[in-house]
């Protein structure tokens, strides 16, 4: 018998009372606040607005967790990061790794092409020099955009780098300006193209391209990320670094 407590069932009057309580809560939610007319608000429409707002909040939180966080740090940062209202990129997240990979590819392009241009007296003013213009400007634009992205990346507060991230946008900007902004600006500005109208010597224009190597610190940060947070074998990463080093030395 479901009405008998000893049988493990629920009493009928308890179930009825439960539905009454739910109905009462719904009615309380749909009631207008003070200074509002009770007939001006539709309870169904009010509930729909509440449900839509809840779904939107849940969707935004899901995007943050799926796009910005990796499985390794998601458990520790779920509650904290979901409360951040401004745009912040968490280190070692999927978005951070994706963007850093794009910047590294642009950096490696300059690592490969700049020694070649210095050794062979590359002159952009010559007729055969303009095909390099598109990839040069594209990679420089990536460096310029990277300045904005780096100003949104949270930094690790403690030395161990477990889960203590500074997400205050003012603190992030201060940290970035004091540490990396100057180097990123030097690497991003294409001085070799901007100074062409001043009729400078081609050798000086080629030398200015060495400033692209100011992104070297970012490259080593990317290697550190691969070693600590990638599932790739460390032997493969080490072999790739030696192969890349061999190519760079061969260029010089």
Boundaries of domain holding 220? 94-251
The total of other beta-carbon atoms located within 10 Å of residue 150's CB is 20
What H or E segment, with its residue span, contains residue 230? Answer: none
Residue 98 covered by a domain: yes
Residue 132 has a pLDDT of: 74
**Residue 35 carries which DSSP code?**
T
pTM: 0.62
Q: Which residues have a Cβ under 8 Å from the Cβ of 107 and sit 6 or more positions away? A: 139, 212, 215, 216, 218, 219
Predicted confidence at residue 90, as pLDDT, reads 76
The answer to whether residue 123 sits within a structural domain is: yes
**Position 122 in a domain:** yes
Per-residue model confidence (pLDDT) at position 125: 60
C-alpha closest to that of 225 among 237, 216, 215: 237
Q: What residues contact residue 63 under an 8 Å CB cut-off, 6+ apart?
A: none
Q: Is the residue at 3 inside a domain? A: no
What's the confidence (pLDDT) of residue 148? 92
Rounded to an integer, the average pLDDT of 45-71 is: 53
Q: What are the CA-CA distances from residue 23 to residues 16, 29, 37, 195 (Å)? A: 11, 10, 21, 74
Using CA of residue 197, residue 202, residue 207, residue 211, what is the dihedral sign? positive
Q: What is the pLDDT of residue 49?
A: 55
Task: Return d(Cα 85, Cα 199) in angstroms, integer.
Answer: 49
Q: Is residue 6 part of a domain?
A: no
Residue 16 lies in a domain: no
Tens digits of residue pLDDT in 185-229: 999 998 888 888 888 887 788 888 889 999 988 888 777 777 776
Give 145-192 pLDDT, tens digit per residue.
999 999 888 876 665 544 567 778 888 888 889 988 999 999 999 888
Instruction: Judge whether residue 58 has pLDDT over 60.
Output: no
Q: 80 pLDDT band (50/70/90 cuts)?
A: low
pLDDT band at 14 (very low <50, low <70, confident <90, very high): very low
Q: Taking a C-beta distance cutoff of 8 angstroms, is the pair 116, 181 a contact?
A: no
Q: Is residue 178 in a domain? A: yes
Residue 40, pLDDT > 70, answer no
**Angle formed at CA 102 by CA 101 and CA 105, multiple of 5 degrees:** 85
Instruction: Say how many domains are in the chain.
Output: 1
169 by DSSP, 3-state: which?
helix
Whether 244 shows a pLDDT value over 50: the answer reads yes
223 neighbors 237 (Cβ within 8 angstroms): yes
Write b or e for each residue in 37-73: b if 16 or more Cβ atoms lie within 10 A of its Cβ, otherwise e: eeeeeeeeeeeeeeeeeeeeeeeeeeebbeebbbeeb
Q: 193: domain CATH number?
A: 1.20.120
Q: How confident is the model over 109-149, as pLDDT tens digits?
A: 898 888 887 777 776 666 555 667 788 889 999 999 999 99
Residue 19 lies in a domain: no
Q: Give the phi and the psi of residue 165 in degrees, each rounded to 5.
A: -115, 140
Residue 252 confidence (pLDDT)? 58
């Amino acid at each position: 018998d479901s009405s008998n407590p000893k049988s493990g069932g629920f009493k009928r009057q308890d179930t009825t009372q439960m539905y009454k309580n739910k109905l009462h809560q719904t009615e309380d939610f749909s009631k207008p606040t003070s200074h509002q007319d009770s007939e001006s608000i539709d309870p169904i429409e009010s509930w729909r607005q509440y449900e839509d707002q809840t779904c939107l909040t849940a969707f935004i939180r899901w995007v943050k967790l799926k796009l910005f966080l990796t499985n390794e740090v998601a458990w520790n940062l779920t509650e904290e990061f979901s409360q951040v209202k401004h745009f912040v990129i968490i280190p070692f997240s999927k978005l951070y790794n994706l963007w850093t990979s794009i910047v590294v590819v642009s950096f490696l392009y300059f690592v490969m092409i700049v020694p070649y241009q210095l050794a062979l007296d590359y002159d952009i003013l010559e007729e055969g020099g303009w095909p390099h213009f598109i990839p040069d400007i594209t990679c420089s634009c990536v460096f310029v955009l990277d300045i904005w992205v780096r100003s949104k990346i949270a930094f690790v507060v403690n030395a161990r780098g477990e889960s203590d991230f500074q997400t205050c946008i003012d603190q992030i900007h201060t940290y970035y300006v004091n540490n990396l902004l100057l180097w990123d600006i030097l690497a991003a500005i294409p001085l070799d193209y901007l100074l062409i109208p001043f009729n400078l010597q081609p050798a000086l224009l080629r030398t200015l391209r060495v400033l692209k190597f100011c992104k070297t610190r970012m490259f080593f940060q990317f290697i550190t990320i691969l070693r600590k947070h990638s599932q790739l074998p460390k032997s493969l990463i080490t072999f790739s670094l030696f192969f890349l080093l061999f190519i760079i030395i061969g260029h010089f």
